[in-house]
Amino acid sequence: MNTILGLYNYWIVIILMMAGLYILIARYNLIKKIIGLSVFQTSIFYLYITMGKVDGGTAPILLDEPASYSNPLVHVLILTAIVVGVATTAVALALIVRIYESYDTIEEDEIKAIEMQEQDS
């Protein structure tokens, strides 16, 4: 029981990660793939924040009296990761818009079929 309570967060993070990974592998739609990537990414944020939590701790803003704080380092790392994640998402979406303009579809298999046709002719 103790193990289950102590590791529950990690297990949920892994389920969320695998949900994102499954979308990335099994869906052909490119925008859907990026959505899956975002799900994966947010679950990684969750993993880090979980590791920084201390029982009975407060947010790492210094108080006058002694107190126990959660780990500020992981918060900083994840702050950076969130912003970088949005930047990469923006580039990916811009690429998808260009692909749509060139191929008139955002389904991976249709794009492959069009490319095969072009090679044959």
Partner 1 sequence: METLTIMVLLAFLVVIAVGIIVLRDLLAGVVLLGLYSLVAAGAFVVMDAVDVAFTEAAVGAGISTILFLGALSFTKHEQKPRGHDSVTALFFVAVTGALLIYGTLDMPHYGSDLSPAQTHPELTQHFLHKSDSEIGIPNVVTSVLASYRGYDTLGETVVVFTAGVAVLSLLGLRRRRPEEEAPEDAPGDLPTVPDDEAEHK
Query: Does residue 114 bind partner 1 (CB under 8 A)?
Result: no
For residues 107 and 121, which CB has a smaller minimum distance to partner 1 in the complex? Answer: 107
For residues 109 and 115, which CB has a smaller minimum distance to partner 1 in the complex? Answer: 109
Q: How far is the CB of 121 from partner 1 (least distance, A)?
A: 24
Q: Is 33 exposed, middle or buried (0-12, 13-18, 19+ CB in 10 A)?
A: buried
Instruction: State the Cα–Cα distance between residues 6 and 15, nearest whole angstrom.
Output: 16
Instruction: List the interface residues with partner 1, window 65-84 (CB under 8 A).
Output: 68-76, 78-80, 82-84
Query: Does residue 117 bind partner 1 (CB under 8 A)?
Result: no
Query: Does residue 111 bind partner 1 (CB under 8 A)?
Result: no
**Which residue's structure tokens are 């069009």?**
114
Query: Largest Cα–Cα distance in the chain?
Result: 77
For residues 10 and 117, which CB has a smaller minimum distance to partner 1 in the complex? Answer: 10
Q: How many CB atoms lie within 10 A of CB 23?
A: 19
Instruction: List the interface residues with partner 1, window 9-68 (CB under 8 A).
Output: 9-12, 14-23, 25-29, 31-32, 34-36, 38-39, 42, 45-46, 49-55, 57-62, 68
Query: Which tokens is 5 given?
Result: 């309570």
**Which residue's structure tokens are 């990660």?**
17
